[in-house]
């Protein structure tokens, strides 16, 4: 799942910066042969799908993806051997089930890192462990050395008022997450004369650090990197006692990376009323990414396999999609949507998204049909209501989640296509009220291993993994027969 600061990130519409690459022609909908297609009520196919898809079956796929990841570099970042090995497993399994698998190749703007170092040079020298933001401006080779200061006003440093009465020219500012995008933080600091920004991730785990990114890249002004809460709080304590000088060596450059989405269609069903169901298969390069997002990819695969025996009952074509480069700006799903012409867009009935479906300290979250700016495309609320109703019928409480800019539904929403899905949670911190409903640990992130090396198979909660998988299998079975209450078709 794409990482943004925890507040106001709901306003982000991910902007992918895609270059011309090899284009798989997906335009021009055609109606498949309807011979042999038989009628089955939507609720019956939905029930059959939710019974056929189980956590145990999907777990075997997850184990296979885990093995492919571990044997090929330990992650599935785009362009990596781990990505290729995992998609090869997906392709083999889908082909064995009777699907014809397509690669949709493209290139996207990526960021290559050369150095992310920092150290306190005075008064008490020690090493820091920064993580440079993607698309950050670089320091000179060898870094730059300057005094570090914290804002005189609000610690998040989003506006000039946060530095009121303070001279930060030629200095490094240390700010906290929240209140605004990190892009805005470094623009404000730059305008005040600062030479670099360090940002306190401020996570419950004092050792956890995350990589953020400039959105858009062209708004980068000065070097910016994150520090874990432990290092940031110690730095703040030192600053309170007197002047502190830090050297930061933060260097990277933009580059183009080639990758591909995987697409598999049911051979039956109306192509002009396609239901798209997707999950991203890539991970960040610091983790095996089992919950983020191999678990969802494995469940999506099992759903496709279990739908194959019911092809003759599919009235609306289902397209299963494994997206690339979600962790690199939601670039894969954005590229897919960008290739749709007007007929293709109107022929896409809806989009169902699976994201981080096995979080250990989970909330049972259902996208609620709303964006940060108001209602999502017409029909999104109906998708939410149906998925929420599935859980309610089984006595399982849910929490609503806004259709934010952090996952692959975002490009579909921006294109006016109704969307919904499930998400068990990432870096949000569980509240006492949430723990009363869902259990778990108060004050801990919903996924304490979010983007960390500990995101292994042991990090996936098998209960919520299965519950979310069955709910989404039910939803795609239902919409494979009837989308009339979502889009009128």
- The residues annotated as belonging to the active site are 326
Q: How far apart are alpha carbons 238 and 232 in whole angstroms? A: 10
Handedness of CA 175, 362, 294, 478 (dihedral sign): negative
Tally of residues, the chain: 489
């Amino acid at each position: 799942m794409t990482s943004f600061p925890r507040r106001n990130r709901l306003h982000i519409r991910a902007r992918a910066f895609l270059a011309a690459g090899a284009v798989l022609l997906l335009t021009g909908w055609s109606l498949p042969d309807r011979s042999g297609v038989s009628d089955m009520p939507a609720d019956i196919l939905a029930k059959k799908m939710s019974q056929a898809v189980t956590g145990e079956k999907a777990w075997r796929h997850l184990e296979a993806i885990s093995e492919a990841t571990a044997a090929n570099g330990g992650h599935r970042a785009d362009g990596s051997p781990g990505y290729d090995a995992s998609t090869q497993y997906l392709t083999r399994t889908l082909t064995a089930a009777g699907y014809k698998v397509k690669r949709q190749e493209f290139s996207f703007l990526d960021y290559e890192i050369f150095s992310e170092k920092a150290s306190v040079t005075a008064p008490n020298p020690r090493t820091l462990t920064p993580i440079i933001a993607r698309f950050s401006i670089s320091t000179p080779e060898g870094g730059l050395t300057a005094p570090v200061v914290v804002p005189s006003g609000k610690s998040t440093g989003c506006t000039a008022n946060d530095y009121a009465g303070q001279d930060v020219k030629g200095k490094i500012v240390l700010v906290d997450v929240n209140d605004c995008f990190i892009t805005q933080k470094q623009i404000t600091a730059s305008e005040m004369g600062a030479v670099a920004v360090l940002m306190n991730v401020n996570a419950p785990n004092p050792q956890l650090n995350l990589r953020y990114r400039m959105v858009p890249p062209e708004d980068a002004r000065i070097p910016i990197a994150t520090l874990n809460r432990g290092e940031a709080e110690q730095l703040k304590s030192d600053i309170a006692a007197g002047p502190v000088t830090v050297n930061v060596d933060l260097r990277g450059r933009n580059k183009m990376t080639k990758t591909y989405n995987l697409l598999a269609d049911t051979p039956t069903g109306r192509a002009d009323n396609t239901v798209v169901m997707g999950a991203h298969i890539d991970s960040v390069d610091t983790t095996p990414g089992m919950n983020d997002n191999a678990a969802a990819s494995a469940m999506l695969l099992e759903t496709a396999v279990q739908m194959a025996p019911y092809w003759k009952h599919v009235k609306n074509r289902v397209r299963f999609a494994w997206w690339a480069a979600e962790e690199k700006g939601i670039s894969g799903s954005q590229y897919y949507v960008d290739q749709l012409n007007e007929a293709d867009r109107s022929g896409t009935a809806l989009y169902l998204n699976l994201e981080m479906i096995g979080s250990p300290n989970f909330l049972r979250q259902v996208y609620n049909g709303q964006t940060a700016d108001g209602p999502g495309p017409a029909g999104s609320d109906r998708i939410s209501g149906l998925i929420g109703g599935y859980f309610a019928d089984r006595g399982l409480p849910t929490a609503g989640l806004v259709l934010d800019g952090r996952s692959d539904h975002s490009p579909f929403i921006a294109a006016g296509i109704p969307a919904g899905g499930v998400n068990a949670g990432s870096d949000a911190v569980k509240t006492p009220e949430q723990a009363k409903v869902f259990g778990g640990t108060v004050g801990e992130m919903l996924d304490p291993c979010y983007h960390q090396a500990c995101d292994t198979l042991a990090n996936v909660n098998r209960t919520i993994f299965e519950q979310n998988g069955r709910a989404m299998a039910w939803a795609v079975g239902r919409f494979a027969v009837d989308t009339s209450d979502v889009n009128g078709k």
